[in-house]
Amino acid sequence: MINLLSINLPLHSYADIIFPTAVRQPFTYQIPDSLRNDMRIGSRVWVPFQRRKAIGVVVNIHSDTPDFNTRSIEQVLDEEPILNAEMLSLTEWIHRFYYCGWGEVIQAALPAGLNFYSEKYIRIKNLPDEKDLNEEEQNICEEIAEKESYLLKEAKKRWPPAAIKKLQKKGILEVWEEPELKIAPSTSRLWEWTDEDSPGKARELIEDHREQDKMYKWVEALELLQMLGLPEFQKNLSRHELLDSYTLNRIADEGLISAREVESTDISFKYEHDPEKLKKLNDEQEAAFREIKSALDEEKFANYLLFGITGSGKTEVYIHALKEVLEKGKGGLVLVPEIGLTPQIVKRFYQIFGDDIAVLHSRLTVREKYDAWRSLQNGEKRIAIGARSAVFAPVQNLGLIIVDEEHDASYKQEDPAPRYHARDVAIMRGTITEAAVVMGSATPSMVSLYGAKKGKSTLLSLTKRPLNAKLPEVKVLDLKQYRSAMKGPIAIPLYEKIKDAVEKNEQAILLYNRRGYASFLQCETCGHIPECPNCSVSLTYHKSKRQLRCHYCGYAARRPDICGECGKAALEAMGSGTQQLEEQISDIFPETRLLRMDFDTTSGRDAHADILSKFARKEADILVGTQIVGKGLDFPDVTVVGVINADTELAFPTFRAGERMYQLLSQVAGRSGRADKEGKVYFQTWQADHPALKAAKNHDYKEFARRELAFRKTLKYPPYSRIIRFAFKGKREHRVRQVAEVFTGILIEQVGGFDSVLGPSPSAVSKVQKFFRWETLLKIDPTNGAKAIEHLLDKTFADYDEKKPDKSTSVRINVNVDALE
Ligand code: ADP
Ligand code: ZN
């Protein structure tokens, strides 16, 4: 733990410093007299590191003289620590529990703009004698001499790197490195209608042009603007080819629209702020809120599991609790799964809390993240809302942490390190800061449910929907029985229902679970499937681009005409992706308008929200998508939801398959029929008798959980154990295997028995980017915490270092504590 007493004590002569590497030990440096008064734990410093210089973070200051020579700190980079005692303790715990470098954790916790980043510059060291230089060299020196500093990477773009190297060798130029700290606040161009009459004028203008058959490009663009809606940032508009800045300015010349610069994290123009609209809680919600409030009143750590069926009003409970915490003068943190961070959810929090909210998401630019971070750090904003890494948001005086959809797998970071679980980090942060933690879900994870049973958290239940909407009826369509009664990928009853709905001007959503399952090419003569040359996975076929792609390493190639194995021109598209499904659906329903939402269509910044809002505006009848549509299903006119392949999740070699299937299906089933129209849900499956599927059909979480826990207990799977996965990676397969075997042997010795060690074995995807992968799973007692894990792994790795077959480091070993996949 951090020695708080040593903060600000100027007497100490040594500082322990960490760097963003996997090395787990800090490095000790000497504090020169000149810097003694400026040294703070949690500040960044500039130090010599190996043969260069680097930014590190001070994690301890002391006077224990080390028994080796120490180098001196050169510069203190922060007047005020960028990490307070709370964040230092938290990151230290992660470093120990998840067994990774402390610096790796701090790197993940800080926004990129504050990170361990430095820049190389070039300058004149000795003025050259002109006649020793050729013309090019003279030019280079002249230009560099003119400026005070010149970025090395810029110089290398401007002149041949060899020429610069040569001048360096001659001692004329020198390179030096400086920490990069400056970041300017970011603004973005926002386009708005000039006044409230503008949209009307625009409409007239478009009509006029249409009548005269004169559709200039800018008029077309104007029409598109009307469809998209203003205000909107230029960077979002310019994703449409038609809306380049030239055309926007052309429209502005007509006086219809105008632009201004606003801070790009500012969302106030987008949402309404009206705290009066706070809803009155119903009895169940009120009871849950009272419980949480009692913890807030005590200002002590407390952990709640808010188990409420979909649509039972969990979000309203969060909002009331946050309001309470703000009234106490404290701050709050709201974690949501990455794809749960939709404008709909932000809007609800914004309505009550307005500019008190900082939204953190992965698509912000470096500067925007930095701005948001600063606004929390200096107390300007008191609530942070964001996905996984927002668990590190520097909310001041934190009183409440909410983890919405706590079961969601996206809370676990798999690669690279730190491989932390944001829910568990949130609980630890709550413990350190004495804040209340509320984990909410309609389908709590087995781990959290078991925790509640064991008294680690308090269970709060919401069993009703406040708006009296009913949970929809679910029908299971057993594909074995419908084999000859299919319309393409859809069984007849579902087909009829969709047809009906579309005729009544209602909407349908079709969900296609594509996890690790995609379309591919197969030779109809020899059965050969093209594979990625780097990874042992089949390549995915993207029909629109006529391209084969590897979803692991990104390798791409044009669709081959002939089979690489037998040479026949018999490659056919197999399997099916969402894109193919979309085509099949449009063949079956030729008159309907379709929208598709999957990873490929949502890689743009706001694409996810764009598609959903189009669907909400009823610009399409059917939405086809992967599981990400499961999160946005809150449309009053959707009356049919179909899951094309409800059992795909079971094809994955993990004991969590049943839990995943249950979560996915109940998410979907619970989302439809939210408003007054009754919704119907269909599951198409080859395994109609599967208990998880049946439980989801009956909206029966308790039954699912009872069976699932019994099954886990017999096989000692989590929550009855904690799983640590060791992954071995290297370019030479026999080496990887050898290392895996030696390491696993040591592990078995350490834990004293085979029972709890599984492996080693090749990973499910055994080759990625030319690296072979093996793995070993270790099951330990789940009550083991950071101390026990660190102790066990320290000993294992120390032993391994002595016995390792491969003195070089050509095989890497990754540790993943509480691995999910
Ligand atoms: P959950 O987060 O559990 O899925 P929500 O908080 O989104 O549920 O609530 C579902 C719907 O019910 C929302 O439209 C919400 O505005 C409404 N709602 C929730 N609580 C109340 C309440 N006490 N009074 C009126 N409407 C409510
Ligand atoms: Zn690949």
**pLDDT at site 517:** 43
pLDDT at position 71 over 80: yes
Protein residues with C-beta less than 5 angstroms from the ion ligand 2: 532, 534-535, 550, 552-553, 555
Q: 422: pLDDT confidence band, cut at 50, 70 and 90?
A: very high
The 3-state DSSP class for residue 396 equals coil
pLDDT digit string, tens, across residues 366-388: 778 888 888 999 999 999 999 99
Pick the residue whose CA is nearest to atom 27 on ligand 1: 466
Q: 773 alpha carbon to ligand 2 midpoint, in Å?
A: 13
- Residue whose CA lies nearest to ligand 1 atom number 6: 313
Q: Is 311 in the pocket of ligand 1 (CB under 6 A)?
A: yes
Cα separation of 108 and 98, whole Å? 13
CA distance linking residue 173 with residue 140, whole number of Å: 10
Q: What pLDDT was estimated at residue 287?
A: 98
pLDDT digit string, tens, across residues 396-416: 999 999 999 999 999 999 888
CB 350 within 8 A of CB 266: no
3-state SS track over 288-303: HHHHHHHHHHHCCCEE
314 Cβ below 6 A of ligand 1: yes
Query: Is 673 a residue whose pLDDT tops 70?
Result: no
Distance 287 CA to ligand 1 centre (A): 15
181 — pLDDT class (breaks 50, 70, 90): low
Query: Looking at residue 600, what is its pLDDT?
Result: 58
Q: Answer yes or no: is the C-beta of 431 below 6 A from any ligand 1 atom.
A: no
Convert the pLDDT of each residue in 662-672 to its tens digit.
998 988 887 65
Percent of the chain with pLDDT over 70: 88
Q: Which of 649, 654, 648 is nearest to 775 (CA)?
A: 654
For ligand 1, atom 14: residue with the closest CA: 311
How far, in Å, CA of 394 to CA of 820, rounded? 27
Over residues 34-54, the mean pLDDT reads 89
Mean pLDDT of 358-368: 81
Shortest-distance ligand to the CA of residue 319: 1
- Indicate if the alpha-carbon torsion angle 368, 275, 442, 664 is positive or negative: negative
Among the bound ligands, the one closest to the CA of 548: 2
Per-residue model confidence as pLDDT tens digits over 437-488: 999 999 999 999 999 999 999 999 999 888 777 778 899 999 878 878 888 8
Give the per-residue pLDDT at 575: 57
Task: Give the span between the Cα atoms of 424 and 786, in whole angstroms.
Answer: 12
**524 versus 172: which is more confidently predicted?**
172
> Does 312 contact ligand 1 (Cβ within 6 A)?
yes
Q: SS in 3 state form for 477-534?
A: EEHHHHCCCEECCEEHHHHHHHHHHHHCCCEEEEECCCCCCCCEEEECCCCCCCECCC
Contacts of 196 (CB under 8 A, 6+ apart): none
Q: List the residue whose alpha carbon is closest to atom 11 of ligand 1.
A: 311
Greater model confidence, 20 or 6: 20
> What gap in Å lies between CA 406 and CA 422, rounded to an integer?
9
Question: Which residue of 467, 470, 634, 668 sits with most ligand 1 atoms within 8 Å of its CB, as the best mutation to test the pocket?
Answer: 467
Which whole number is the average pLDDT over 340-353?
Answer: 87
Ligand nearest to the CA of 556: 2
Contact 29, 71 (CB under 8 A): yes
- Residue 667, helix vs strand vs coil: helix
Number of the ligand closest to the Cα of 462:
1
Question: What average pLDDT is seen over the chain?
Answer: 85
Over the stretch 551-594, which tens digit does the pLDDT of each residue have? 556 678 899 999 888 888 888 776 556 667 778 888 888 888 88
Helix (H, G, I), strand (E, B) or coil at 764: strand
676 CA → ligand 1 middle, Å: 14
Q: Indicate the pLDDT class of residue 516, thresholds 50, 70 and 90.
A: very low
DSSP characters over 727-742:
EEEESSHHHHHHHHHH
Determine the pLDDT at residue 343.
78
For ligand 1, whether the C-beta of 281 sits within 6 Å is yes
Residue 130 dihedral angles phi and psi, to the nearest 5°: -55, -35
Percent of the chain with pLDDT strictly greater than 90: 41
Between 773 and 496, residue with greater pLDDT: 496
Tell me the CA end-to-end span of the chain in Å, nearest whole number: 31
User: Cα Rg for the chain, rounded, in angstroms?
Assistant: 30
Question: Which residue's CA lies nearest to atom 23 of ligand 1?
Answer: 281
Give the C-alpha distances (Å, rounded to integers) separating 753 from 728, 747, 749, 757.
Answer: 21, 9, 7, 8
Helix (H, G, I), strand (E, B) or coil at 171: coil
Minimum CA distance residue for ligand 1 atom 9: 313
